[in-house]
């Protein structure tokens, strides 16, 4: 068994200014105001487009991102309609030859900080008896034990002759998966609005809040309002 934290990345380098200029050129076609384009006019124009609600203009460009997360999160991601998805398949990927990789739940971050080794922590927890009564450590041991047994059962079923698509029945939502998502910028805004909300599942919310920050830095102006809404600055 191996534990990792979820993550995301762009599939290709993002030229934010080129994207903004492309959207500006398309948008100004509506008003035949191309003569007002300057080297620095794109960000302000795109912000006005968003404020006016003329959001079809930002559909002229798409972005692709790769998410390394758990199966539960991807089950929610693929509910979005205006996207292309390519996901690691548990039908065809055989996990019997290596440690099966699982995703660390974000609500367990209080037990171990990012610089620490998740797998050393798991080994130490599993080596101890389950404590009596309710406790974070007790819950962590139950969770990690379930992962250990699901890995053993999966590999045992393969040894009995089951195929990967049959043996996967015992794998949990915590199983690591990778998914590439391509969507236009309007749809990305919709995804962030839903998945960064306080009502979203904590695992997908943590992933999408991190992605929102990255998208905003990569393409200035098109996600600033969402950053202000979901990623307020901490006052020093």
DSSP E strand stretches across 53-175? 62-70, 83-87, 101-103
Beta 176-184 vs 83-87: how paired, if at all?
antiparallel
CA–CA separation, 125 vs 40, rounded Å?
A: 55
SS3 177: strand
Q: Residue 9, Cβ neighbours under 10 Å: how many?
A: 11
Catalytic residue among 28, 189, 195, 205: 195
79 is catalytic: no
Q: In what order do the strands lie in the sheet with 7-10?
A: 7-10, 62-70, 176-184, 83-87
Bridge partners, 103 (sequence order): 4
CA–CA separation, 43 vs 16, rounded Å?
A: 10
Sign, Cα dihedral of 144, 167, 2, 180: negative
Task: Kindly list the catalytic residues.
Answer: 195
């Amino acid at each position: 068994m191996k534990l990792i934290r979820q993550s995301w990345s762009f599939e290709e380098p993002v030229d934010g200014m080129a994207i903004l200029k492309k959207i500006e050129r398309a948008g100004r076609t509506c008003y035949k105001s191309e003569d007002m384009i300057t080297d620095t006019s794109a960000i302000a124009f795109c912000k006005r487009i968003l404020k006016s609600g003329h959001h079809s203009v930002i559909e002229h460009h798409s972005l692709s991102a790769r998410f390394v997360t758990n199966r539960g999160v991807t089950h929610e991601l693929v509910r979005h309609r205006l996207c292309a998805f390519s996901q690691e398949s548990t039908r065809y990927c055989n996990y019997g030859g290596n440690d099966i990789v699982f995703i660390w739940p974000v609500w367990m971050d209080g037990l171990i900080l990012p610089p620490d080794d998740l797998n050393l922590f798991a080994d130490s927890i599993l080596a101890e008896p389950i404590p009596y009564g309710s406790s974070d450590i007790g819950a962590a041991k139950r969770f990690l034990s379930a992962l250990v047994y699901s890995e053993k059962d999966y590999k045992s079923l393969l040894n009995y002759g089951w195929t990967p698509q049959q043996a996967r029945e015992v794998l949990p939502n915590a199983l690591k998966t990778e998914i590439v998502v391509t969507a236009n910028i309007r749809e990305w805004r919709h995804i962030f609005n839903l998945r960064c909300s306080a009502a979203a599942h904590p695992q997908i919310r943590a992933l999408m809040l991190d992605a929102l920050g990255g998208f905003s830095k990569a393409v200035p102006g098109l996600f600033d309002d969402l950053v202000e809404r979901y990623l307020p600055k901490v006052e020093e």
